[in-house]
Structure 1
């Protein structure tokens, strides 16, 4: 099966800061949540000129995945819990999963945001016209986030990305939200919808917020407001937080599955050297992180890296 190829950076990162990215031309094999939960492997795509990027695959299936590409060299592996929300119940059922202390904390965050900003509102965007308004407000905000500045992971603004989001909106397969403090947008959430019209999956594509308001937890407040609205639709089976772990995903998710992301590169000398350097770099970072954690300096270092 032919797959689209693109330039993908093999990243060397410390915390939230990318120090170096070495480009390779790769195809992508990405696994949906339904595929992860069913344990079935879809058809393998044809590798790109340099190989393949595997995203959020079931960890237990990695050997079978690698067997589809004999001789390729694996590297850059990341193991994590893929968090998701079971949306088969009501929003009240969902809230019941949290402890009383956590529910109180979430309410307090919303009150504090309202008090310190003079009140906030949340706007929902679905149609192509509404999505155009969402992008006009969210793209400048995204450019200010640390995800965009340090990791090139902000809201995409390429012509292809815009066409895709507008096409999804035209098919009623986009849900997007903006949190406003006064007239100023301070957080955004973008959620494509995949799967069947009823019982589909909301994909956690992009969440970002104004760094000047970070201490007020606007992303958390927006997430809760959006989930209440989405549960009320009664349309979705899953809310998929996709690849990567994190405190935000772990807190809001109701369940998780063991997943991994990695690259499978053609066995050239350049590719072997690249993956060897990446492995040595990651080992050094892990050792330094362990030393920083034992000395109590880890949180200070993380804050400095995000600055």
Structure 2
């Protein structure tokens, strides 16, 4: 199945321009990533411009069969996951001392704002998901994930309800004074539980509700049936902090070798190269010291 995917010229979360292309998505599961599998590309439908492959293990890139398509690496990242088989005590011991104390401090602050105790509720059955979904949707509507990235909790609860009937959903809400302010919704993929939808009301940023909710969810998952918690594609300090390990991966864009697609690839390559050079320049010690002086 093809879908229109905007190929973005992006600086951080801001999109400067985009070029639509009809693409077939090939995403690797965590099991496939850990096994260093290289997926076979599907036959392209007549209306497809190409393929987007996500979470291809970087170690397999040289051997990947591109089948004559134009190819570009769209992003590089570590796909993080937590080994839930090690037990909660070993996992906690693997966190840095500052991380443990910081999370404890955040939980205490949030509890104080909510009558002295944390109000975190778990949901997994279809009946529970029916209660969870409208509350989580209200939170999702306030988040940058939905407003800027288009990755909020879907408005239709049907898919989540079907998975819940198969015991393949774990979800949580964090409440402050009886109001939901953060949510986490995860679905099972084999022995792994996926970090699918997450967000918190930005009006409560100072209470760090997302980190506190993630911490409690992790504690509960070590007593659940899953072998791994999959933080999926992309990086972030939050993922690095809670994960036990990760695999270097790339997202590949593959397009039919038409004149128009060659132009798109050239433009993307030039833009991405410029952004990479700008990041390296910004990391230079002299420029960092200058930036600190300007902020004073």
Whether TM exceeds 0.5 here: the answer is yes
CA distance 1:219–1:256, change in 2 (3 Å):
same
Q: Is the CA contact (8 Å cut-off) linking 1:76 and 1:275 kept in structure 2?
A: no
Equivalent position of 2:53 in the other structure: 54
Instruction: Give the C-alpha shift of residue 299 in structure 1.
Output: 9.1
Equivalent position of 2:259 in the other structure: 269
Equivalent position of 1:182 in the other structure: 177
Unpaired runs of at least 5, structure 2: none
1:280 corresponds to 2:277:
no
Equivalent position of 2:159 in the other structure: 164
Instruction: Give the C-alpha shift of residue 214 in structure 1.
Output: 1.5
Q: Is the CA contact (8 Å cut-off) linking 2:99 and 2:241 kept in structure 1?
A: no
1:98 corresponds to 2:95:
yes
- Report SS of the residue matched to 1:267: coil
| CA distance in structure 2 between the partners assigned to 1:146 and 1:297 by the alignment | 30
Deviates more, 1:218-227 or 1:39-48: 39-48
CA distance 1:297–1:263, change in 2 (3 Å):
farther
Equivalent position of 1:213 in the other structure: 204
Q: Spell out, residue by residue over 1:256-307, the C-alpha distance to the aligned partner (whole angstroms, 9 max, x if none).
A: 111111211111122121122122222222333344444349999xxxxxxx
CA distance 1:298–1:139, change in 2 (3 Å):
farther
Which of 100, 107, 111 is the matching residue for 1:110?
107
Give the alignment's TM-score, normalised by structure 2: 0.90
What CA RMSD, in Å, does the superposition of the two structures yield over aligned residues? 2.1
Q: Is the CA contact (8 Å cut-off) linking 1:76 and 1:278 kept in structure 2?
A: no
- Report SS of the residue matched to 1:134: helix
| 1:226-265 → structure 2 map (5 Å cutoff) | 226-233=217-224, 235-265=225-255
Deviates more, 1:33-42 or 1:53-62: 33-42
CA distance 1:84–1:60, change in 2 (3 Å):
same
Q: Spell out, residue by residue over 1:185-233, the C-alpha distance to the aligned partner (whole angstroms, 9 max, x if none).
A: 11111110111xxxx1011111111111122211110001001111112
- Report SS of the residue matched to 1:208: strand
Q: Is the CA contact (8 Å cut-off) linking 2:79 and 2:248 kept in structure 1?
A: yes
| 1:30-179 → structure 2 map (5 Å cutoff) | 30-48=27-45, 49-65=48-64, 67=65, 69-118=66-115, 119-157=117-155, 159=156, 162-179=157-174
Unpaired runs of at least 5, structure 1: 301-307
